[in-house]
């Protein structure tokens, strides 16, 4: 009888542990990485290049996220310095540099969270605006999306400081499929950017859970005859 009771207690305890366990294991995407991509631009002229996304932690426990894209005729560099604390991402400074056929455009955005103000200097023409906590810069939201997707969320809305106004970026999970990329074949979650119904632009991003929800593929259609695609070719910590 005692052995039966003991077995029953073990079974009950095991059931309790299973019942109490979270449905999703906690995943953090905030780990240093360097991700390299093939860039292909399909249009009147086909162009290829490279893109690198890199996340690094600073000595004061903030983070820097950089995106560099380059081809024969153009280059774009973006960098976000931000703080990740209590599940909240707060951008501190954003840098943008673009060169296309020798024409350059630079922008610097500073976030003052003590006063909830943003100061932007674009080609030496500054502007300011008031913001609320949660506002992102033009690439910090990408890391937040990656983390929220790992947390199991399905719909995403971000307020982004851009050009002196707040723009709303919306995304939603759109399906699952296996993506074949230079780095290998991985099951991926497809996320679609939600745009106005009459917009000719379409954006799809595929995230690979096995790779800490890194972007394994991105495709943006500008018009019927213009589109660019990124495919992950290398990922290092």
The structural domains of the chain, with segments of one domain joined by +, span 2-236
What is the Cβ-side half-sphere exposure of residue 59, based on CA atoms within 13 angstroms? 0
Q: What's the chain look like in SS3?
A: CHHHHHHHHHHHHHHHHHHHCCCCCCCCCCCCEEEEEEEEEECCCCEEEEEEEEEEECCCCCEEEEEEEEECCEEEEEEEEEEEECCEEEEEEEEEEEEECCEEEEEEEEEECCCCEEEEEECCEEEEEECCCCCECCCHHHHHHHHHHHCCCCEEEEEEEECCEEEEEEEEEEEEEEEEECCEEEEEEEEEEECCCCCCCEEEEEEEHHHCCEEEEEEEEEECCEEEEEEEEEEEC
Residue 160, pLDDT score? 97
CB within 8 Å of 181: residues ≥ 6 apart: 216, 217, 231, 232, 233
Q: Domain 2-236: which topology? A: outer membrane lipoprotein receptor (LolB), chain A (2.50.20)
- Asked if 160 and 166 count as a contact pair (C-beta separation under 8 A), the reply is yes
Q: How far is Cα 35 from Cα 52, in angstroms, rounded to an integer? A: 6
Nearest in space to 215 (alpha carbons), one of 143, 131, 148, 162:
143
| Structure tokens, 88 | 């909240």
Cβ neighbour number for residue 127 with a 10 Å cutoff: 13
Residue 132, pLDDT score? 95
Q: Please name every residue paired with 33 in a beta bridge, in sequence order, or none if there are none.
A: 55
pLDDT per residue, tens digit, the chain (237 aa), is 434 333 343 333 333 333 333 344 578 999 999 999 999 887 555 568 899 999 999 999 999 999 999 887 889 999 999 999 989 999 999 999 999 888 888 999 999 999 999 998 876 678 899 999 999 999 999 999 999 999 999 999 999 998 788 999 999 999 999 999 999 999 999 999 999 888 888 999 999 999 999 999 999 998 767 888 999 999 999
């Amino acid at each position: 009888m005692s052995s039966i009771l003991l077995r029953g207690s073990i079974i009950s305890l095991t059931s309790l542990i299973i019942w109490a366990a979270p449905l999703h294991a906690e995943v953090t995407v905030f780990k240093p990485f360097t991700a390299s991509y093939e860039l292909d631009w399909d249009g009147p002229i086909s162009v290829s290049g490279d893109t690198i996304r890199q996340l690094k932690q600073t000595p004061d426990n903030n983070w820097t996220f950089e995106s560099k894209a380059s081809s024969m005729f153009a280059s774009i560099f973006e960098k976000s310095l931000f703080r990740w604390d209590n599940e909240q991402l707060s951008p501190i400074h954003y840098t943008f540099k673009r060169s296309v056929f020798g024409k350059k455009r630079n922008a610097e955005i500073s976030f003052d969270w003590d006063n909830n103000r943003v100061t932007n200097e674009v080609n030496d023409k500054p502007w300011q605006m008031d913001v609320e906590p949660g506002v992102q810069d033009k690439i910090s939201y990408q890391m937040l999306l990656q983390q929220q997707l790992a947390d199991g969320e399905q719909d995403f809305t971000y307020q982004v400081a851009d050009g002196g106004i707040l723009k709303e970026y919306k995304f939603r999970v759109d399906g699952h499929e296996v993506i074949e990329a230079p780095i290998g074949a991985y099951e991926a979650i497809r996320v679609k950017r939600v745009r106005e119904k009459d917009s000719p632009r379409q954006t799809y991003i595929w995230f690979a859970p096995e790779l800490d929800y890194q972007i394994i593929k991105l495709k943006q259609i500008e018009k019927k005859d213009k589109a660019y695609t990124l495919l992950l070719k290398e990922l290092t910590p």
